Structure 1
Amino acid sequence: MKGDSTDTFGLGLTLGYSINDNLQLTFGYKSTLNDNKPGDMQMDSFNFSLVFGWHPLVEGSRRLKENHQ
């Protein structure tokens, strides 16, 4: 089965901020640019993410680094 071809262009931006060594916050936005015709795909997307990471090796290396300063 053959479908209709599409020409879709989009643009996006992502910003990130490290709150501390274990916690990061990111915000993203993306949108289609050529969506003027009624049959064109129209998309706007907002993304927020909060990521927490921890590992004993990272904590151990941080303590070693603090002791040698």
Structure 2
Amino acid sequence: MQTISDADMRRRVVISSTIGNALEWFDFTVYGLFATVVAAQYFPGADPSTALLKAFATFGIAF
């Protein structure tokens, strides 16, 4: 059985954290870019500004 050194463990933690953070920012960016589409599809009868706020609120609640 192999043991992992402290340096290797730190490297794994940093890489894993970086990948997780990048995915989170990607998700946030994609939703922000498509918020107008989401607003139009999910809240069609509402005022466009209100629909956009509802789309952002939905993302905020789920986040």
TM-score (norm 2): 0.29
Q: Which has the larger radius of gyration?
A: 1
Structure with the largest fraction of strand: 1
TM-score in terms of structure 1 length: 0.27
Higher helix share: 2
